[in-house]
Amino acid sequence: MTQVRDKILEAGLVHVPFDGWSEVSFAAAVADVDVPMSEARVLFPRGAVDMALAFHRRGDAGLAQALDAADLGAMRFRDRVAYAVRVRLELVEDHKEAVRRAATLFALPIYGADGAKLVWETADAIWCGLGDTSQDLNWYTKRVTLSGVYSTTLLYWLGDSSEGHCATWEFLDRRIGDVMRIEEMKARVRSNAILKPFAEGFERFAAKVKAPAGAGQNDLPGRWTPPA
């Protein structure tokens, strides 16, 4: 069934640039691989919408493999994050129009929750790939912050026509720089004699907030797991 799913998705990517993630594209993809529509509906109950979800999650799975193979220890922390976001976008560079069409699809109110979940899963895949071990409030704040960085960089990338998307990577570096400045500010607050008691009080509260227990939770919020 996984092979059939992948074949339908690959066939769909030929039609999506012209017809979007629509029932037209889905029907054409199913016809191209000569699969009964009833079988295709088992794999993609919502048709093209679920096909778009599978396309995004395939990118996350590829990212997990790339991060596992990368020599992350040789990079600064901020460079690791930038590398992960860049790799995630480069994995779908050949299907940029399909990504654009997916962004349009998940911007619709009816599919907004699906889109938010995908961004969260990508942020979680990045943090898991970078070896994040946080178990308190930081588990959530890291993913919320990275979701913002990833989603804005994605939108910039979609409109970027610079050579090698160099403008996008400069934009990404600025966004990560903004996040690092927030972390620097938090460190200054902790070292400030007046503000330190308030910071310690908040940190005691944060320590009581726990990350989702165990892997395999594919919901908001939850841990990212590779598709079967």
Burial of 33 (0-12, 13-18, 19+ CB in 10 A): middle
**For residue 62, what is the domain's CATH number?**
1.10.357.10
The reply to whether 61 and 14 lie within a common domain is no
The reply to whether 4 and 77 lie within a common domain is no
Model confidence pLDDT, tens digit, residues 60-75: 999 999 999 999 998 9
pLDDT at residue 133, as a whole number: 86
pLDDT at residue 189, as a whole number: 45
Domain annotation covers residue 52: no
The reply to whether 26 and 108 lie within a common domain is no
Give the domain range for residue 70: 57-208
Domain annotation covers residue 128: yes
The reply to whether 29 and 120 lie within a common domain is no
Model confidence pLDDT, tens digit, residues 10-27: 999 999 999 999 999 999
pLDDT category of residue 191 using cuts at 50, 70 and 90: low
Greater pLDDT, 101 or 189: 101
The reply to whether 40 and 62 lie within a common domain is no
Domain annotation covers residue 78: yes
The reply to whether 88 and 155 lie within a common domain is yes
In angstroms, rounded to a whole number, what is the distance separating the alpha carbons of residues 12 and 35?
13
pLDDT category of residue 220 using cuts at 50, 70 and 90: very low
Domain annotation covers residue 123: yes
Domain annotation covers residue 37: yes
The reply to whether 72 and 5 lie within a common domain is no
In angstroms, rounded to a whole number, what is the distance separating the alpha carbons of residues 98 and 118?
15
The reply to whether 119 and 192 lie within a common domain is yes
- List the one residue out of 184, 149, 183 whose CA is nearest residue 169: 149
Domain annotation covers residue 224: no
The reply to whether 22 and 78 lie within a common domain is no
Domain annotation covers residue 223: no
Residue 186 has pLDDT above 70, yes or no: no
Grouping H, G, I as helix, E, B as strand and the rest as coil, residue 6 is helix
pLDDT category of residue 82 using cuts at 50, 70 and 90: very high
Count of domains forming the chain: 2
The reply to whether 106 and 63 lie within a common domain is yes
In angstroms, rounded to a whole number, what is the distance separating the alpha carbons of residues 125 and 179?
19
Domain annotation covers residue 187: yes
Lowest mean pLDDT among 30-34, 109-113, 141-145, 148-152: 141-145
The reply to whether 38 and 69 lie within a common domain is no
pTM across the whole model: 0.84
Hey, what are 100's tokens?
Answer: 């654009």
The reply to whether 67 and 41 lie within a common domain is no
Convert 99-123 into a string of H (helix), E (strand) and C (coil).
HHHHHHHHCCHHHHHHHHHHHHHHH
Q: What angle do CA 135, 113, 45 make, to 5 degrees?
A: 110
pLDDT category of residue 218 using cuts at 50, 70 and 90: very low
Q: What is the mean pLDDT of residues 132-139?
A: 82
**Mean pLDDT, the chain, as a whole number?**
86
